[in-house]
Structure 1
Amino acid sequence: MAGRVIVIMGVSGSGKTTVGACLSEDLGCVFLDGDDFHPQSNIDRGPWLGAICQAATQILLTNPTVVIACSALKRPFRDALRAANPHSSAAYHVSFFCLQAPACVLADRMRQRSATGLHFMPPSLLQSQLSLLELDDDEGIITVDSTWPIHAILNFIKSNINC
């Protein structure tokens, strides 16, 4: 079995959840938010990424496509998402779309969410996330300006899904 996984990645405040949820609705597929898989102790990324991969693999057994919102800041994290669940015969193709915006826009978004209690990431950690972000040219990650209107972001991603 082969399926398609579309990962909407980026630092906190880039719009991963909003874009991922809207994209999955447009495509008529399942959406997984990586934040829903975080353990209480967020130090070890292995189990977190494993849980996301396992959920994606299960979904792909009955659905051809799944959209995942996940920071995936470092290449080893993306490599884990590219690998099919080793305990399954399922295989899938993974496309990465990195949402990017100026730091001041991201910080403002994070402050707004923190003020309403909608997210756990404090704005004070933004710079560390930006420093961790690794985008290697050879990975074929497509960058998207997340300051665009949502319909423009969705149209851009949909037109580049198979690249």
Structure 2
Amino acid sequence: MAILTPPAHVKRPGWFTRSVMNRVVTWLSRRGVSLAGAAVLAVEGRKTGEIRRAPVNPLRHEGEVYLVAPRGHVQWTHNLRAAGGAELCHGRRGRRFTAVEVPDAEKPEILREYLRKWKWEIGAFFPGLGPDAPREALLEAAPRYPVFRLTYTD
């Protein structure tokens, strides 16, 4: 008897986000213009080995830097897991890092801070949640949102 597991949470970007917004944010960030702290993640593709780029919002929280995936288990999260590290780029400068995925039990306060800072941008991907959500609600949502703790290597 096969055990069925539910598909991982993914909120795929629409055409406008993928073809216009992500490209604009990436273009601006690569020229040193950051929208509310956005940067470009450059990570090796797990299947092709090619560098894949995605705009991200690095979060500084309690002396650590995190990447949160508001759209869930998307391609950059799979690639980052496989690579174990990547580079955050802003302007002409990139910083290499290693990444460790944060266990669900540690995510609530990180998600709370992420929502506090970027709810205006990513709130639609966290239905019913905000920075004032009870810890239990954030803990219940935690498996849907990968979070990585970064350690810079340069």
Task: Tell me if TM exceeds 0.5.
Answer: no
* TM-score, normalised with respect to structure 1: 0.30
* TM-score, normalised with respect to structure 2: 0.31
Structure number with the bigger relative contact order (C-alpha 8 A, sep ≥ 6) is 1
Of Structure 1 and Structure 2, the greater strand share is in: 2
